[in-house]
Amino acid sequence: MLKVGVQTDFENKTRIADLLRYKTTKSGGKWRSLKEYVDAMAPDQKEIYYITGENLSALINSPLLEQLKSKDIEVLLMTDPIDEWVTQALTEYDGKKLKSAEKGDLDLDKVDEDKKGKYETLFKHIRAQLEDTIKEVRPSTRLTDSVACLSGDTYDMSGYMEKILKAAGQTTPENKRVLELNMAHPVMEKVHAMFEADKEDAKLKEYIHLLLDLAVIGEGGKVDDPSRFSRLVGNLMAGVQG
């Protein structure tokens, strides 16, 4: 009910925000206030980072948080559906803007321009292969260990909000996501070599769809074709063993 108050009682939303509690990537399963979060921020941190979703375990292990974690930045884990509306009403706290870890540029790291140039044609090819599902393919500044993730632009609907609205039977506008790929991951080197050797290789097409599946699974989603995913992973495992 307090979270409903943030959204509906504009005059008192800041006072109500003082009463909100969230688990975070650094709270060890305990609840923390926004004030405690702000007080623990590094001097050079300008924003309060958060991520929304229905599963706490999936959120705390989300690939979207890899770069934030590597820089020791705490992230609020928002698992109540109403949190999607809280972040729309409470855009800042104590002079610090709330920023989604899923959307927009996190401005934490710069893209390697040399590698970006190397992968540019491949990324265009991947986008063309997946154009019915995604709106863009970009080099990721979010990922450090994983190969792929799904993100959105600053004003896009989050993946969780889309899921909430669809579960409620509401029609949602087209909400294609951005496929971010980790140019430093060895898998991307392999995919690039395959692309350079033969752009029409059927195996390359399978790898491209596998990258999307890995991004979907990384955020706790379900792949469109589980049997294909199982077959591809099985083939890869057999190849490693062989």
Question: Would you tell me which CATH number, out of the four given (3.40.50.11260, 3.40.50.620, 3.40.50.720, 3.30.465.10), belongs to the domain 2-100?
Answer: 3.40.50.11260
User: What is the pTM for the complete model shown?
Assistant: 0.89
Q: Which of 126, 106, 240, 101 has the alpha carbon at shortest distance from 183? A: 126
The gap between the terminal CA atoms of the chain, to the nearest Å, is 57
CA distance 134 to 184: 22
Q: Which of 170, 105, 72, 18 has the alpha carbon at shortest distance from 161? A: 170
What CATH number labels 113-241? 1.20.120.790
Please, are residues 101 and 52 in contact by the beta-carbon 8 Å criterion? no
CA distance 215 to 137: 12
Please, are residues 146 and 66 in contact by the beta-carbon 8 Å criterion? yes
Please, are residues 78 and 51 in contact by the beta-carbon 8 Å criterion? yes
168-207: pLDDT as tens digits: 888 877 789 999 999 999 999 999 999 999 999 999 999 9
CA distance 157 to 161: 6
Question: In this predicted structure, what is the pLDDT of residue 242?
Answer: 38
Rounded to a whole number of angstroms, the CA Rg of the chain reads: 19
Mean predicted confidence (pLDDT) in 160-169: 86
